[in-house]
Amino acid sequence: MSDTSGQGIPAPEGPADLIETEYQIGQDNISTRIGPFGLDIHNPVFAISGLAIIAFVLVTLAFQEGAGTMFNDLRVWLTSTFDWFFLLSANIFVLLCLFLIVSPYGKVRIGGKDATPDYSYSGWFAMLFAAGMGIGLMFYGVSEPISHFSSSFAENAGTPESWAPLAGAPGNETEARHLGMAATIFHWGLHPWAIYAVVALALALFSYNKGLPLTMRSVFYPIFGERVWGWTGHIIDTLAVFATLFGLATSLGFGAEQANAGLNHIFGIPVSDVSKVVLIVAITGVALLSVVAGLDAGVKRLSEINMVLAALLLAFVLIVGPTLAIITGFFTNLWEYARYLPELSNPFGRADDNFRQGWTSFYWAWWISWSPFVGMFIARVSRGRTVREFIICVLIIPSVVSVFWMTTFGGTAISQIVNDGYQAVADAPLELKLFAMLEALPLQTITSFIAIVLVIVFFVTSSDSGSLVIDTITAGGKVDAPVPQRVFWASFEGLVAIALLLGGGLGALQAMAVSTGFPFTIVLLLACFAILKGLHSEPR
């Protein structure tokens, strides 16, 4: 048999600037069998990640109160002390993305000059949106605009006790509404998507154009050189697995609580541990089917179904809600967002500590802790796009969709409170605000049912894409590792969620997951440098 190794051939996908490294993808992997199942795992990232996650869960379960206090204090300390750092960094990410759109680097094509896109616009957009923030829009689309509107309108707005953005607009209903919507859109618009775009672009560039494995460590090659294949890289990858799994598992746990509350509200299904565990098992079960069906037949198809359902719900609320007000509100909110953006994104010399640290800084840490997962997933499905196309589609379009979504759901809810005096939506707990808003519209049983299905399917699409990402990282960047591995990670995530739900500690470990946003902010800043350096050497 001929020797097939060592025949380095120039990239036939067109000119690209490959990084020459001695490292062979998979060289640190262990290929073995456990019983009937084949394994192809990175040594030591797989084992360290798995064991550390189990250890953290056990410690949290054993010392619930202490762990809860410690992780929450850590999270609050980080987001309060380093609020300026989070705000400043997120601004840098937005500016970098905007620069890339207009700069000559925008012509660089991910995957080489002659690469063609792997996915159509609709499939691509559905996947990146479903993985990125779908579920959050369901819960915060109604509640957050109401919160900011209420705090801005309140008499104490502008005082140190207030949670209003900036100085608020005490007693001024129109201005409070504008500020409330602008502040909400600020948290769901350009900044979060810029965070995802930076991670995704860095990964896509260093994988598809530079030929490095699709794992977080590859982004650091320009900084650490060959050391990224050693412990420096092991730590980066393990941290990424850690943030992703805990982020997903705790969201799944809380999601089950919220979905249970919704089902109880609509169908009277009792709120109990059994119901929640059944929900987690069901969501994990569907996610398992999806990962086993693969990226095209599973993840992409579910994401597309999700998009259709979300669009239907959006169209329904638009049509039966205050249609004209929503359409004009969309443009007004876009303008108000642009008007307030410099003030809201200013990291220094502000008086709104509660809002800046409790909302914005927390959100930025949260998005950043999710960015390894969402970024890696977006990177995987973005081959063949130019950098300009990529940034426009990952930054601008989702931001505009978020504005429209927030205007439709949040704007309708505020109108219900202000114009119709409908207090139920203001009084409802967070997880029920969406349903309370839908109840004031026609066909509420059908729309509430669609909403609950959307909530569940959004969890599935996060769970399945997250499992694929963790599997790739723990397989050293190989995307063709045996299928039982991804089954393991999807199941493991469900089990961690159940353990934390029953034993307590969901909040504690979610706080810890959000805390990983701090080290990852530094990682992302380095990634910005790596992107510019990497793009500079690419043929345009």
Instruction: Measure Cα distances from 345 to 96, 102, 226, 283, 355 in Å.
Output: 15, 22, 37, 37, 12
Q: Closer to other proteins at the Cβ: 313 or 393?
A: 393
Element (H, E) at 419: none
- Measured over the CA atoms of residue 477, residue 478, residue 484 and residue 490, the dihedral's sign is positive
Residues, the chain: 540
519 upstream amide cis, omega within 30 of 0: no
Q: Report which residue type is found at 540.
A: R
Q: Which residues lie closer than 8 Å to 478 by C-beta, 6 or more apart?
A: 25, 26, 29, 40, 213, 472
- Please tell me whether residue 274 binds other proteins under the rule CB under 8 A: no
* DSSP letters for 11-75: -TTS---PPP-SPPTTTTEEEEEETTEEEEEETTHHHHHHHHHHHHHHHHHHTHHHHHHHHHHHH
- Shortest distance, CB of residue 352 to other proteins, whole angstroms? 44
- Please tell me whether residue 8 binds other proteins under the rule CB under 8 A: yes
Member of 62, 311, 479, 522 binding other proteins (CB under 8 A)? 479
- Please tell me whether residue 222 binds other proteins under the rule CB under 8 A: no
Instruction: Measure Cα distances from 246 to 249, 373, 508 in Å.
Output: 5, 11, 10
Q: Is 31 exposed, middle or buried (0-12, 13-18, 19+ CB in 10 A)?
A: exposed
- Please tell me whether residue 234 binds other proteins under the rule CB under 8 A: no
- Shortest distance, CB of residue 229 to other proteins, whole angstroms? 14
Cα 243 versus chain centre, distance: 11
- Please tell me whether residue 112 binds other proteins under the rule CB under 8 A: yes
Residue 401 DSSP SS3: helix
**Which residues 361-380 are close enough to bind other proteins by CB under 8 A?**
380
Contact between 89 and 192 under an 8 Å Cβ cutoff? The reply is: no
Element (H, E) at 271: none
* DSSP letters for 117-183: -SS-HHHHHHHHHHHHTHHHHHHHHHHHHHHHHHHHHSTTTTSTT---STT--TT-HHHHHHHHHHH
- Please tell me whether residue 22 binds other proteins under the rule CB under 8 A: no
- Please tell me whether residue 9 binds other proteins under the rule CB under 8 A: yes
- Shortest distance, CB of residue 203 to other proteins, whole angstroms? 10
Q: Closer to other proteins at the Cβ: 3 or 349?
A: 3
Select from 233-241, 278-286, 398-406, 474-482 the region that touches other proteins (CB under 8 A): 474-482
- Please tell me whether residue 13 binds other proteins under the rule CB under 8 A: yes
- Please tell me whether residue 296 binds other proteins under the rule CB under 8 A: yes
- Please tell me whether residue 118 binds other proteins under the rule CB under 8 A: yes
Q: Closer to other proteins at the Cβ: 207 or 360?
A: 207
Member of 222, 321, 410, 482 binding other proteins (CB under 8 A)? 482
Interaction mask 200-219, other proteins, x per CB under 8 A: -------xx-xxxxx-----
**Taking phi first (over 0 means left), then psi (-120 to 50 degrees means alpha), and beta for anything else, what does residue 354 get?**
alpha
Select from 21-29, 255-263, 308-316, 333-341 the region that touches other proteins (CB under 8 A): 21-29
Member of 22, 36, 160, 421 binding other proteins (CB under 8 A)? 36
- Please tell me whether residue 24 binds other proteins under the rule CB under 8 A: yes
Select from 18-26, 182-190, 241-249, 338-346 the region that touches other proteins (CB under 8 A): 18-26
Member of 83, 149, 478, 508 binding other proteins (CB under 8 A)? 478
- Shortest distance, CB of residue 295 to other proteins, whole angstroms? 4
- Shortest distance, CB of residue 253 to other proteins, whole angstroms? 27
Contact between 483 and 297 under an 8 Å Cβ cutoff? The reply is: no
- Please tell me whether residue 27 binds other proteins under the rule CB under 8 A: yes
- Shortest distance, CB of residue 226 to other proteins, whole angstroms? 16
Q: Closer to other proteins at the Cβ: 31 or 328?
A: 31
- Please tell me whether residue 111 binds other proteins under the rule CB under 8 A: yes
- Shortest distance, CB of residue 153 to other proteins, whole angstroms? 49
- Please tell me whether residue 25 binds other proteins under the rule CB under 8 A: yes
Element (H, E) at 484: helix 483-503
- Shortest distance, CB of residue 480 to other proteins, whole angstroms? 4
Look at the block and give the residue holding tokens 């970098």. 96
Member of 50, 262, 477, 517 binding other proteins (CB under 8 A)? 477
Nearest to 165 by CA among 351, 398, 11: 351
- Please tell me whether residue 117 binds other proteins under the rule CB under 8 A: no
- Shortest distance, CB of residue 143 to other proteins, whole angstroms? 36
The residues binding other proteins (CB under 8 A) are 1-2, 4, 7-13, 16, 18, 24-27, 35-38, 111-112, 118, 207-208, 210-214, 292-298, 380-381, 383, 477-484, 486
